[in-house]
A and B are shown apart, each in its own frame.
Chain A
């Protein structure tokens, strides 16, 4: 049961209406719509961070799913398990990212391992990223990648806490898909 009244299209404030034009915009939009000026300013930012960019979709979904697992956000884990599968990650990879103890063996590519170590340092710790992790990451990624991955992890953490605190519900279509793939 969500802890916030999710606004449907009929009750959507004027500035929020464009986000409902394609149908149900999902619970994050339906919750933020209560403060339409934040929705109007925030969604373009989130779309830029989470949408297509210089980083591959596969890498981005690894960041989002791993971060959500570390923050234990049920809503984000469920919804991004589906997105990750659609982005080409295998079922085993999805399960490994969701289980913060079992990455070894599933991700053998050195760049992907460095990426996941970076994400673990950002989302799983509170201090600066350790020097050893930073050196390994920079061996595979450029400065803009470092900024984008960190911003993506940090934005995911923000949404993780928002969705968890407010107990946002997963969409029925997401739950059905997860059941179908035995990922619930």
Chain B
């Protein structure tokens, strides 16, 4: 980890397809896009190498990770190597899947669910029909099973009243302020087409090693898709194994920029 020069988390893009097609999605994810899937075995190998290299945490994102049938068990295997946060839209937690996730309660796992507004209409306009209702049902269902839930709110301009209503809602659902993150829309992918978000380049983004089926990227905001084509401007290396190759390349890049230069946009 080169004495703290790199953040401790390695991100895994488990897949790119999604049951939703959000208006600001960085990866143009939707039901019928290329899946660009990492196998469970590949993710486990990355986790094992990451641990050996000194990384301290994993993140799993997509696409919607829970579209992969093996995901509950894969998260458990990953969490036996390093703590894991999984980013999900929270719409696929039926009873059967929730029961398969029970073992995660005893592991260092956080399920981070997107919820963009306390107002169902505002939320669903960006994320899709019935999204708000499904998320509101899923959060307590997970918490009841002992699984730690975080809420991520992504938006352009969230005013104080909207934020207060949202915070009131997540507290009622059992999610503490500590587990609520608010972040800007980044102007890549579908957000760029819809004129949404803030422009960000490498200097604005924390250098969190991000592994995808297409290579290793500077940050989870890097492997975006625009017009169906993968963006390459934040590509670090095409090779992802051994993990030391992209990790050392990322470190070389990080060493070449001023300390703290990623703090401008507060993208975390």
Q: Which residues of A does B touch, CB under 8 Å? A: 7, 10-15, 33-37, 40
Contact = CB atoms under 8 A, between A and B. Distances in A.
A34 B233 contact: no
Contacts of B236: 13-15, 36
Contact of B238 (A7, A14, A37): A37
A36 B233 contact: no
A15 to B, nearest CB: 6
B249 interface: yes
A25 B202 CA distance: 21
B233 to A, nearest CB: 5
Interface string B219-251: 000000000000111111111000001000100
A15 B237 contact: yes
Interface of B: 202, 218, 231-239, 245, 249, 253
A15 B252 CA distance: 9
Nearest to B238: A35
Contact of A10 (B202, B233, B235): B233
A36 B240 CA distance: 12
Contacts of A37: 237-239, 245, 249
9 contacts: A7-B232, A11-B233, A13-B235, A13-B236, A14-B234, A14-B253, A35-B238, A36-B235, A40-B249
B191 to A, nearest CB: 17
Contacts of B253: 14-15
A37 B241 CA distance: 12
Which of A12, A14, A33, A34: most chain B Cβ within 10 A?
Answer: A14
A35 B238 CA distance: 6
Contact of B249 (A11, A15, A34): A15
B239 A13 contact: no
Contacts of B237: 15, 36-37
Contacts of A14: 202, 218, 233-236, 253
Nearest to B218: A14
B249 A13 contact: no
Given A37-B245, A37-B249, A12 B232 contact: yes
B220 to A, nearest CB: 15
A10 B233 CA distance: 7
A36 B233 CA distance: 11
B233 A12 contact: yes
A36 B236 CA distance: 7
A33 B235 CA distance: 10
A135 to B, nearest CB: 45
B88 to A, nearest CB: 29
Contacts of B231: 11
Contacts of B234: 13-14
